[in-house]
Amino acid sequence: MVRRASPERTCVGCRQRAPAGQLLRIVAVGDETGHSLRPDPARRLPGRGANLHPDPACFTLALRRRAFGRALRIAGVPDASELAEHLQGVDKHDRSPGRAESTQRNPSKVGRPT
């Protein structure tokens, strides 16, 4: 039996390749004021998607490089407030006081430079 490789995607923030399951898919949702970025953890929303490590550092890099507009092929600067709230919630969950700090690497950050 031949084992298939999992699909790889590139993070729009740090530009590192990783398995698609380790990256958060982002879609642009248009409204009357422009576009807003919406996280798609289930990878089911329609439209073109961009991939991002669920890491605030990658998010900051992507905003600074204006990578979301290019990756999603939209004009202008999209509103990233909903995405920022989602990433803060993920970050707080990862660093909750009940979790013990370990020396093991986080699986979502495997393959990224430290």
Q: Please write the tens of the pLDDT for every residue from 64-100.
A: 999 999 999 998 889 999 999 999 887 666 654 443 4
Q: Which residues of 69-81 are buried (b: 16+ CB within 10 A; e: fewer)?
A: bebbebeeebbbe
Q: Please write the tens of the pLDDT for every residue from 47-59.
A: 999 999 999 999 9
pTM listed for this prediction: 0.74
Give the pair of three-digit tokens for residue 22: 């380790």
CATH of 8-94, one of 3.30.1230.10, 2.60.40.10, 3.40.50.1580, 3.40.50.620: 3.30.1230.10
**How far is the C-alpha of 31 from the C-alpha of 74, rounded, in Å?**
13
DSSP 51-82: EE-S-HHHHHHHHHHTHHHHHHT-SSPPB-HH
Write down the domain spans for the chain.
8-94
